[in-house]
Amino acid sequence: MNPPPAPALTHLGPLAQLRAGRLPERLLRLLVGLWLYGLAIALMIEGAVGASPWDVFHLGVSHHVPVSFGMVMILTAVAVLLAWIPLRQMPGLGTVANTLLLGPFADLNLALLPTPEGLPLRCAYLLAGVVLCAIATAMYIGAQLGPGPRDGLMTGLARRTGWSIRSIRTLIEVTVLVIGVLLGGVVGVGTLVFAFGVGPLTQLFLRHLVVRLDARPAPALSGETP
């Protein structure tokens, strides 16, 4: 027998996302997912064997503008949100939470996480960071309260093109990596592991972490006909 299909990601407007049921559980999943994402960022940075492509990009941009790394993350998020407009991607509470909380969560985890000594432990940090990032992404996207700016770009492109989450995520990660390197960001073997590993892992975990909703997208809220 074939396994039951995974719950699908719905395309709901902001108000419909809040009315779709199981809100306390979904809010908890959102917050835990963002916390784990912050921990994943801290693990990869402390491992010092290569940051994620987006962080290579952020580091590269920070070399050319008089603002902090965290401010670069915020400005990048705003720019990415503008790319949602032609994709007709719906923001939500999760979008705002990602923009406002991910940076502080990463900073806090960086302060709490001990720096590893020796290459084996640093590599363990990297691998744990990549797997944890995929779990965290699937958890907070699966809460169906609106993805973060960068992941909304991923899901919007996947919906519009019909390509898989795995393919779209890998394409985005490789693109920002190249731009980040050209801007002076530092890469390592861990960067490549993340770029080509996190997409397939995110697609795998999404099958198990999407919250099943009874609601259907309404034209008045989603801006699209069913």
Q: What is the pLDDT of residues 91-121, one digit of tens each?
A: 788 888 888 888 788 888 888 889 898 999 9
Whether 220 has a pLDDT exceeding 70, the answer reads: no
pTM of the prediction?
0.79
For residues 145 and 19, the answer to whether their CB atoms sit within 8 Å is no
Q: Percent helix, strand, coil in the chain (nearest 5)? A: 70, 0, 30
pLDDT score, position 219: 41
Task: Report the range of poorest mean pLDDT among 1-5, 51-55, 133-137, 154-158.
Answer: 1-5
Q: Phi/psi zone of residue 184: left (φ > 0), alpha (ψ -120 to 50 degrees), beta?
A: left
Provide the strand spans (E) within 80-151. Answer: none
**Contacts with 184 (C-beta within 8 Å, 6 or more apart), sequence order:** 59, 60, 63, 64
How is residue 141 written in tokens? 């996207």
Whether 1 has a pLDDT exceeding 50, the answer reads: no
pLDDT score, position 124: 94
Query: What is the pLDDT of the chain when averaged over all its residues?
Result: 82
For residues 36 and 133, what is the distance between their CA atoms, to the nearest angstrom?
A: 7
Whether 39 has a pLDDT exceeding 70, the answer reads: yes
pLDDT score, position 120: 93
